[in-house]
Every structure is written in structure tokens, then in C-alpha cells.
């Protein structure tokens, strides 16, 4: 019987040595406890949460102070909310826009592509008028259409309210970088 007990004790010792050696070889770490706090190298750094700064809402005053932002807002509204089909011709936000202004006229021509060349300006473009009361009238040359809805008048205040409602302030604030304004003196 003592031989049998000796075999069991030997087996348990051997098993303990193997398990202990295995832990040393694999480099297992103990989980942190109250008596063994985690070291700086085993702690994960806290996640940095950055809250994006809210984009300020547009105002009519701001549009009146910054003409390129005003034109961008008018173009955005024309594309997204006038439901005049030809205004979709200027809806490529990656190419941008060219706005042509002739002195003495309240007419603003809107061409697709901020780098459009004169030879590419074959059809009459979309255009808008801006009156002294802050009303914008969108126009589109009728091409193969018998519909009467090729104009729409809306106030700058309504345009600003719609852009803010769409949460498109950031998009509209980025549009002036894709806008070229040509002012003609004659």
C-alpha cells in the first residue's frame, strides 16, 4: 500500500511541476486583484472620446455678410428643394459651380463645374434673381417641357430654415470651396 501511495504522491508532484513550468513558459499573467493590482503595462489606456463640435446654424445675417455662402445656400436649396428638373444639372457637389454675375442685372447664372470653359456654355443655364427684400426666384430655361413650374420664389429666411432643418449646415459651409464667381463689369 505504501508503494501505491508513493506513486500517487510522485504523480501529483510531477503534475504540479509540469503545470507550474507550463505557466512560466507561456508567460501567463494573473488577473489583477485587490492584492495584485494591475501594472501600468497591463492596463489599457482609456478610450479617448472626442465629441464633434456642433456646426453652427446658418443665419440670414451671415448669408448677407458672405456672398459665396449666400450663393452656396441658394444653389443647395435649388438642387434639393425647388423640384425644378433642370436644377439637377448642377447637382454634382464634387465638380462645384460657377456663378456669373453681370453688373446692373439682378440675374445670377449658375453653371455646373467651377472650371467650366466658355465653349462648354451652350445651353442657357439655370439662374436666380435676388431682390432687395431677400427673396430668391429660381429660373430654368424650359427644354422640351410644357410645364409652367420652371420658376419658384422663396425667401432667404426660408432657405436658411430648410438648410438648418436638413442639418446640411456643414455641407453648405464647405460648398464655397467648390464655387467660382465671375463678375462682369459690362
Distance, in Å, from the CA atom of 100 to the CA atom of 110, rounded to the nearest integer, reads 7
- DSSP string covering 30-69, please? PPP-SSSPPPTTTSPPPPPP-PPPPPPPP-HHHHHH-HHH
Per-residue model confidence (pLDDT) at position 44 = 77
Residue with cell 497591463: 42
φ and ψ at residue 109, rounded to 5 degrees: -80, 135
Distance, in Å, from the CA atom of 65 to the CA atom of 165, rounded to the nearest integer, reads 21
Q: Residue 151 is placed in which grid cell?
A: 420658376
- DSSP string covering 145-183, please? ---S-SEEEEEHHHHHHHHHHTT-HHHHHHGGGGEEEEE
Q: What is the pLDDT along the chain (186 residues), one digit of tens a residue?
A: 677 676 776 666 666 666 766 666 665 555 555 555 555 556 777 777 788 888 899 999 999 999 999 999 999 999 999 988 889 999 999 999 999 998 777 789 999 999 999 999 988 889 999 998 999 999 987 665 555 558 899 999 999 999 999 999 999 999 999 999 999 886
Q: Looking at the DSSP assignment, which residues form a beta bridge with residue 135?
A: 155
With 0.85 as the threshold, say if the pTM is over it.
no
Sheet with 97-102, side-by-side order of all strands: 151-155, 135-139, 126-130, 107-112, 97-102, 179-184
Amino acid at each position: 500500500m505504501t508503494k501505491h501511495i508513493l506513486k500517487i504522491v510522485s504523480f501529483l508532484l510531477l503534475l504540479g511541476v509540469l503545470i507550474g513550468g507550463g505557466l512560466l513558459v507561456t508567460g501567463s499573467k494573473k488577473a489583477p486583484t485587490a492584492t495584485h493590482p494591475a501594472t501600468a503595462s497591463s492596463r489599457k489606456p482609456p478610450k479617448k472620446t472626442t465629441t464633434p463640435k456642433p456646426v453652427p446654424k446658418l443665419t440670414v445675417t451671415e448669408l448677407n455678410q458672405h456672398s459665396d455662402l449666400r450663393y452656396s445656400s441658394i444653389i443647395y436649396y435649388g438642387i434639393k428643394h425647388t423640384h425644378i428638373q433642370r436644377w439637377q444639372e448642377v447637382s454634382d457637389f464634387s465638380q462645384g459651380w460657377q456663378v456669373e454675375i453681370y453688373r446692373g442685372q439682378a440675374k445670377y447664372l449658375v453653371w455646373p463645374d467651377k472650371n467650366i470653359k466658355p465653349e462648354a456654355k451652350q445651353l442657357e443655364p439655370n439662374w436666380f434673381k435676388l431682390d432687395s427684400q431677400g427673396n430668391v426666384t429660381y429660373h430654368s430655361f424650359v427644354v422640351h417641357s410644357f410645364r409652367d413650374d420652371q420658376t419658384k420664389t422663396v425667401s432667404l429666411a426660408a432657405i436658411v430654415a430648410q438648410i438648418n432643418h436638413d442639418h446640411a449646415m456643414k455641407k453648405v459651409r464647405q460648398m464655397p470651396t467648390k464655387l467660382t464667381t465671375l463678375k462682369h463689369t459690362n
